[in-house]
Each structure stands twice: as C-alpha cells, then as structure tokens.
Structure 1
Amino acid sequence: MNTAPIHKPTESELEILQILWRKGDCTVREVHEILEKNKDAGYTTTLKLMQIMHEKGLLSRDTSSKTHIYRSLVNEQKTQEQMLNKMIDGVFNGSAARLVMQALGNHEASKDEIDSIKKYLDELSKK
C-alpha cells in the first residue's frame, strides 16, 4: 500500500474507496452495484470516477483481462488519519478534545462504545 501523502478524496471518491477497502479488488460493475443500493448513481459516472481516481494515484487498474479490476492504492487507516488531522486543525482549531466532545455531544454512544473510550483513555493516561 502507498504510504505517501494523498490527495484528499472527494465524498464520492471516499464512497468508492470504502467499498474497495471492505470488499478488496472489484470491477466497476461490482462497485456500481453497491453504490446503487444507497444512491442514484449512473454506471458511466462510476466508471469515470474510478478512471479519475486511477489517474490521481488512488487506485490501480489491472487491464490484463477484458474486465478491468481496480484496487485501492491508499491505506484506509492512513487516509482516515490524514482527513481527521485536517478536520481537527481546520474546524476545531487543533483541539482533538473539542472534536471528541462535539462528537459525543451530538451522537448517542452505546454503553460498549463509552466503555471502549474509557478503556482507551485509561491506557493513554498510563503512558
């Protein structure tokens, strides 16, 4: 996987990346069928987006057979970190605490999620 800094994926590109991260290598048709379940998306639009993502270096494309197979070239964890850091800096003035408090204040967390957060905070405070 590529670990170099990436271009910030657009919302549509991120939807495609999430499919590829979850399912692995896919054809345009496979990606399109998954996208169509949640939104009205034309096949040619999906194809064009994936071609652009290939040009940007976000995806690789295996053209050895008639049906091209696409693969993500960017790491999910690294992409999430880069996008989150940009949001923390740009929206929350560099404060991760403000981001967490905003997220927990606006969304109901399950008991398991809260327990997991407490455990993580305990581990951080021990370092």
Structure 2
Amino acid sequence: MDEISFTPRELDVMSILWRAGSGTVTEVREGLDEELAYTSVLSALQTLEEKGFVRHESEGRAYRYFPTVEPENAGRSALARIREAVFGGSAELLFAQLVSDRRLKREELERMRRLLAQRLDEEES
C-alpha cells in the first residue's frame, strides 16, 4: 500500500480510529467535530474499508471498525504529496516552513535538532 490518500472527511474518521483504536459508526460519529448523519459516517467507513484502510468485525448488531494503516504511514504519504505539490519537491523548503512556525515550543525544536543530528550521523556511517 504505497499511496495513502484521504479526503478531509476520511481523514477525520481515521483520526478518531487512530486515537481510539477502533470504533462503531455511532462512536465515530460522536467523535467528529461536525454533526453528520449516521449514514454519512457509515458511507465514509465503507469507502475506507473498500480502499483497504479499515476493517470491521461484528459486535452484536453493529460493526466495530479498526484502522489497518498506521498514522505514520499516512503522514509520510501526505507529506510527500505536499512536498511535491506545494514545495516543488524540496524537502528543505518543507522543513523551513515547519521550523518557522512560531508556535513550536523550544522542546519540539530541540527534538527536531536531535532527529537531524541522528539522521546526519546515519549518513556518515
């Protein structure tokens, strides 16, 4: 599963499943910021299942849905699309945009620095 792509609504649904680990249509619906009809949430979950991003198990009269793709994999795919579409393929420009965010805390920036140092060490090996 190389290309992972979600519509905004699908991403909202996946976000709930990633945080909770699983959910019924009702549970997902209750976790959404916007009020959607039960059938709209069900439709989103069925579409995600057709794409292979969720699976379901019977739970009484309902289905419980489980994510089959990790958020890190989805994030990697989304960032690659953003890097290509917005930053002309430049990871450097994407990174510059990320670190220029004034809302980042010092601790986050320090963790980023450590990650960069680790990555540079890997390149030298």
TM-score by shorter chain over 0.5: yes
Q: Give the direction of change, closer, same or farther, for the CA distance of 1:107–1:41 in structure 2 (3 Å limit).
A: farther
Larger deviation: 19-28 or 49-58? Answer: 49-58
Q: TM-score, normalised by structure 1?
A: 0.85
Q: 1:105: Cα distance to partner?
A: 2.2
Alignment of 1:117 with 2:112, yes or no, is yes
Tell me which residue corresponds to 1:71. Answer: 66
CA-based RMSD of the aligned residues comes to: 1.7
Query: 1:26-45, aligned counterparts within 5 Å?
Result: 26-35=23-32, 38-45=33-40
Counterpart amino acid of residue 52 in structure 2: G
Q: 1:52: Cα distance to partner?
A: 1.6
Q: Distance in 2 between matches of 1:60 and 1:45?
A: 17
Unaligned runs of 5+ in 1: none
Alignment of 1:19 with 2:16, yes or no, is yes
The correspondence for 1:54, drawn from 49, 57, 69, is 49
Tell me which residue corresponds to 1:101. Answer: 96
Unaligned runs of 5+ in 2: none
Deviation digits for residues 68-115 of structure 1 (CA, Å, limit 9, x no counterpart):
111112121111111111211221111111011112224421011111
CA contact (8 A) 2:4 2:74 kept: no
Q: Distance in 2 between matches of 1:107 and 1:12?
A: 28
Tell me which residue corresponds to 1:80. Answer: 75
CA contact (8 A) 2:99 2:109 kept: no
Number of matched pairs: 122
Q: TM-score, normalised by structure 2?
A: 0.86
Q: Distance in 2 between matches of 1:124 and 1:10?
A: 32
